[in-house]
């Protein structure tokens, strides 16, 4: 089974009332898998730092790019 980085991490179901029956429809909400994996990578990088270091990391594009690269690498391995 392949992992699509643009697939959502959650599927939301809601009921749309019709005249004599209910229709179930799905809706995607929130983060996609790539965004979620990148956020988890960023969380891991920040976890071992002080507050000042963490703030500097979040505002550094190189750490953000590294988090996205980690997400892409995980998706690549999952798709093998």
- pLDDT one-digit tens code per residue, 60-70: 788 889 999 99
Per-residue pLDDT of the chain (80 residues; tens, 9 = 90+): 677 888 877 766 555 555 555 555 555 567 889 999 999 998 998 887 877 887 887 777 888 899 999 999 999 999 98
Mapped to the 3 state alphabet, what secondary structure does the chain carry?
CCCCCCCECCEEEEEEECCCCEEEEEEECCCEHHHHHHHHHHHHHHHCCCHHHHHHHHCCHHHHHHHHHHHHHHHHHHCC
List the domain boundaries for the chain: 31-80
Q: How do residues 19-29 score in pLDDT, each as one tens digit?
A: 555 555 555 56
């Amino acid at each position: 089974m392949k992992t699509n980085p643009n697939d959502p991490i959650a599927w939301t179901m809601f009921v749309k009332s019709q005249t004599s029956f209910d229709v179930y429809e799905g809706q995607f909400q929130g983060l996609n898998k790539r965004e979620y994996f990148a956020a988890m990578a960023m969380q891991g990088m920040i976890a071992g730092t002080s507050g000042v270091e963490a703030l500097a990391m979040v505002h550094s594009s190189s750490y953000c790019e590294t988090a996205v690269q980690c997400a892409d690498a995980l998706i690549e391995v999952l798709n093998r």
